[in-house]
A and B are shown apart, each in its own frame.
Chain A
Amino acid sequence: MSEIPLILGTLPVPGHVVKKSGIYWLYPDNYLCRKNQVVGFCNISLESMPGNAVAQPPFAGEADLQVAFAAPVDGRLRIDHETSFGGYLNFLGSQLWDSRTVIAYLTPSEAIPGLMPANLMEMNLLMLAGKLMTGLANYGTSMLPGWHSQVRAWWKGPAKLTKTLLTLGICDAQGPVLGDQGAFLEFFEDADFPCHLVNVQNELMVPCAQCLIEQFFRTEDDFNSIADDIRQHIFHGMVKPTVEDYFFAGCLLTALQDSPVRRSYDIVVDGGYQRSPAPSYILLSSHAEPLQILRHKKLGYHLRIYQFRIEQMGAASRAWLNQAFEIIPRTIADIKSDYIRLFSAFRSHTKAQFIILNQMSTSGREDLAFYTPFDAPMGNILVHVAAKEMNLMLDELQEQAGISVIDVDAIAAELGGGHHLPDGIHQSGVMQKRIRTELLKLMY
C-alpha cells in the first residue's frame, strides 16, 4: 500500500493570520498509529490582519493555543522531520500556517476506497486552548503546559459544534475527561461525535454545589466586598503576609470572580470561528460535597478548601480563615437541597444535562466487626456510610430532578477498588476509561 502525504489542512480564523511553531512529535518514525490518536502538536498564535475590524480578538484571555495532530485513519506514520525546528522555534509561532504543508506520510492499515496515490489527506486537528491562572505561569514544551484556570478542546471539523461538556469537578471527574496527559486525548480518540470539552481547574476552591451557586449569583459588589475583606485581613492584618499569602489571595479571588457556566467560548471550525453555546452537559463530583463547610461570619459566603491546601497556606491566610469563618456542619439532606438549588440556578441560563459521579461506598481495608463504637448518625463519622447515603441521595435526584449519575461505586466494585481506586478518588487508567465510556454514552 502506498504512502499518503498528510497535510496541515485549513485553520480559518477570519481577520487573522495563523502562525505556528515547529511540531513536537510524540512518536517515532514508523509508529503504527490509530485513527484520531494524537501523534504531535504545535503552538499557534493569531495576528490581526491590517484593517481587521473585529473589536475583540478571538480566544481573548486564552494565551495557550495549540493544535494537536492525529491521523485520519489507522496506519504507519512517517514523519517529515523538517517540520520540527527545535529550541524556541518549537515553542514560538514563527511560521505561517499553510494548509498545504505536508508534515508526515501515512501508510494506511487498510485500503481506502477511491483514494489515489497522488491524493493528499488532511490531518485531523484537535484544537487546545488554555486560560492561564497568571501570565507568569506560562511555560510550554508539552500539551496544555502551564498553570491553567480553564482548558478546553475540540476537533476542528465540518460540523457545527452543538455539544459542550463543562467539567466542574475535582480529580475524579477531571481524570477521565483530561486523560493521562491532561489534554483530553483519550476522550477525543474515543468520541465518535463532535463535541467541545471545557475543564475548569481550581486548585483552591473545591466546586461544591453551595459554592457554585454563590459563584453563579455573585455580583460585582459582592465580589468587591470579598476582595476588600481579604485585602484588609490578609494584607493589613496582625500577621505579616508571606509570598504564600499573596498566591492564596490571587487564587481565591480568581475562583470567586465569575461563574464558568456564564462564559462562552471561541471555537474554530471549518467555516470559520463560532461562539460556543451554553454548556449542554455539566459534570460534577459528589466527592466535592463536604460534611462541613466554612462560612464567612460577616459576608455570609461559603468556602470549601481541602485541609492539605490549608496546611500549604501562609500564616496570614490561615489566621484570616480561623477568625473570619465558622465551620458549618452539613447533612446529606442539606447537600440534596444545594443540588436542587444549583440545578434550578443553572437551568435559568442553560438547558444542560447534569451528570454526577457517585462514590465508591465500600473498602477492603475496613474490618469492622460491629458498629457500636460509632455514634449515630454514622454517616457523620464513617466515610463509607456517608458514601452510601450520598449515593442513595443521588439516586433520588436522578428520579426527582432528571439528572444522570455515573455509578462509580459499581465500576469500582467490578474492577476492584483496592487496585483501581486506592484512595476512593484517584482512578487507574482502566477505570478512567470505563467512566469515560459511560460519559460518552450519556453525551451521544
Chain B
Amino acid sequence: MIFNLIIPKLNEYMKSARIEALYVTIGEQLLSGSKVLDMSVDLSNVFAQNCPPISYHRVVLREKLWVRKLLIQPGSYCNPDDCIALLSSEPTEALDQAIARPARIMVAGIVYHPEMWSGSHA
C-alpha cells in the first residue's frame, strides 16, 4: 500500500510551513517513532511583522513504512495538507497505484536548534 505524508495544519492561523530539517532519505525504512522532519510555522506569514510568532515542530512517524519519494528539501515552503512524501508498506511496491491513506504521524513542539535550515542559511 502507498501512503502520502501530508503537512498537518496545526492552527487555524497557519498558512504555510518551512522545512527546517529532513531526517529521512529515499529507500530508507522508517519505524514507528522515526523522526521525519522539523518545520517552522510563522503565524504572521501573511504580512511582515516586527516580532513574528514563529514556532518549531517535529513530525514523527507512527508506523513502519518505507520512504519512496520526497517532494521537499530543507528550506522548502509548504502549505497545510500538501503531500510532501510518498511511503509504502513494502520496499519496492509500484508507486502508480492509488494512495491508501495518509501516513500516521504525530507532531511535537520543539526547541529551536542550530542544525535547522534557517540556522545555516542566515
Interface residues of A (CB under 8 A from B): 170-171, 203, 291-292, 306-308, 310-311, 313, 318, 327, 363, 365-370, 372-374, 380-384, 386, 418, 422-426
Residues of the A chain whose Cβ atoms lie less than 8 Å from the Cβ of B56? 383
Asked whether, in the complex, the Cβ of A368 is within 8 Å of the Cβ of B108, the reply is: yes
Pick from A310, A369, A372, A426: contact of B53, CB below 8 A.
A426
Asked whether, in the complex, the Cβ of A307 is within 8 Å of the Cβ of B52, the reply is: no
Question: What are 21 sample pairs from A and B whose C-beta atoms fall under 8 A apart?
Answer: A170-B51, A171-B51, A292-B113, A306-B51, A307-B119, A311-B118, A365-B10, A365-B57, A365-B107, A366-B107, A367-B107, A368-B108, A369-B106, A382-B108, A383-B109, A418-B11, A418-B12, A422-B43, A422-B53, A424-B55, A426-B51
In the complex, what distance in Å separates the CA atom of A423 from the CA atom of B106? Answer: 19
Interface footprint category on B: 20 to 34
Residues of the A chain whose Cβ atoms lie less than 8 Å from the Cβ of B54? 307-308, 423
- Judged by a CB distance under 8 angstroms, whether B100 is at the interface is no
Asked whether, in the complex, the Cβ of A368 is within 8 Å of the Cβ of B106, the reply is: yes
In the complex, what distance in Å separates the CA atom of A14 from the CA atom of B52? Answer: 44
Assuming the A-B contacts A422-B53, A423-B53, A426-B53, are A383 and B111 also in contact, with contact meaning beta carbons closer than 8 angstroms in the complex?
yes
Residues of the A chain whose Cβ atoms lie less than 8 Å from the Cβ of B114? 292, 327
In the complex, what distance in Å separates the CA atom of A327 from the CA atom of B114? Answer: 9
Q: Is the interface of B mostly helix, strand, loop or mixed?
A: loop
Residues of the A chain whose Cβ atoms lie less than 8 Å from the Cβ of B11? 365, 418, 422
Asked whether, in the complex, the Cβ of B53 is within 8 Å of the Cβ of A291, the reply is: no
- Judged by a CB distance under 8 angstroms, whether B102 is at the interface is no
Asked whether, in the complex, the Cβ of A291 is within 8 Å of the Cβ of B108, the reply is: no
In the complex, what distance in Å separates the CA atom of A380 from the CA atom of B114? Answer: 13
How distant is A415 from chain B, measured CB to nearest CB, in Å? 16
Assuming the A-B contacts A307-B122, A386-B111, are A367 and B43 also in contact, with contact meaning beta carbons closer than 8 angstroms in the complex?
no
In the complex, what distance in Å separates the CA atom of A372 from the CA atom of B32? Answer: 10
Residues of the B chain whose Cβ atoms lie less than 8 Å from the Cβ of A386? 111
Chain B 1-56 interface residues, beta-carbon cutoff 8 Å to A: 10-13, 33-35, 43, 50-56
Asked whether, in the complex, the Cβ of A373 is within 8 Å of the Cβ of B55, the reply is: no
Asked whether, in the complex, the Cβ of A366 is within 8 Å of the Cβ of B55, the reply is: no
- CB-nearest residue of chain B to A174: B51
Chain B 65-97 interface residues, beta-carbon cutoff 8 Å to A: none
* A-B contacts, CB under 8 A, total: 75
Asked whether, in the complex, the Cβ of A203 is within 8 Å of the Cβ of B50, the reply is: yes
Residues of the B chain whose Cβ atoms lie less than 8 Å from the Cβ of A310? 122
How distant is A334 from chain B, measured CB to nearest CB, in Å? 14
Asked whether, in the complex, the Cβ of B108 is within 8 Å of the Cβ of A374, the reply is: yes
Asked whether, in the complex, the Cβ of A373 is within 8 Å of the Cβ of B34, the reply is: yes
Pick from B33, B43, B109: contact of A366, CB below 8 A.
B109
- CB-nearest residue of chain B to A425: B53
In the complex, what distance in Å separates the CA atom of A363 from the CA atom of B55? Answer: 12
- CB-nearest residue of chain B to A372: B33
How distant is B103 from chain A, measured CB to nearest CB, in Å? 14
Asked whether, in the complex, the Cβ of B106 is within 8 Å of the Cβ of A367, the reply is: yes
Asked whether, in the complex, the Cβ of B43 is within 8 Å of the Cβ of A370, the reply is: no
Residues of the A chain whose Cβ atoms lie less than 8 Å from the Cβ of B122? 307, 310-311, 313, 318
How distant is A347 from chain B, measured CB to nearest CB, in Å? 30
- CB-nearest residue of chain B to A386: B111
In the complex, what distance in Å separates the CA atom of A122 from the CA atom of B108? Answer: 56
Asked whether, in the complex, the Cβ of B10 is within 8 Å of the Cβ of A382, the reply is: no
Given A307-B54, A311-B118, 16 more pairs with CB closer than 8 A: A170-B51, A306-B51, A307-B118, A308-B54, A313-B122, A318-B122, A365-B57, A365-B109, A382-B110, A382-B111, A383-B108, A423-B54, A423-B55, A424-B55, A425-B53, A426-B53
Asked whether, in the complex, the Cβ of B60 is within 8 Å of the Cβ of A373, the reply is: yes
Asked whether, in the complex, the Cβ of B53 is within 8 Å of the Cβ of A307, the reply is: no
Residues of the A chain whose Cβ atoms lie less than 8 Å from the Cβ of B51? 170-171, 306, 426
In the complex, what distance in Å separates the CA atom of A307 from the CA atom of B57? Answer: 15
In the complex, what distance in Å separates the CA atom of A384 from the CA atom of B109? Answer: 7
How distant is A377 from chain B, measured CB to nearest CB, in Å? 11
Asked whether, in the complex, the Cβ of A423 is within 8 Å of the Cβ of B43, the reply is: yes
Assuming the A-B contacts A422-B53, A424-B55, are A373 and B109 also in contact, with contact meaning beta carbons closer than 8 angstroms in the complex?
no
In the complex, what distance in Å separates the CA atom of A391 from the CA atom of B118? Answer: 28
In the complex, what distance in Å separates the CA atom of A363 from the CA atom of B31? Answer: 25
In the complex, what distance in Å separates the CA atom of A253 from the CA atom of B33? Answer: 46
Residues of the B chain whose Cβ atoms lie less than 8 Å from the Cβ of A366? 106-109
Asked whether, in the complex, the Cβ of A291 is within 8 Å of the Cβ of B111, the reply is: yes
How distant is A23 from chain B, measured CB to nearest CB, in Å? 29
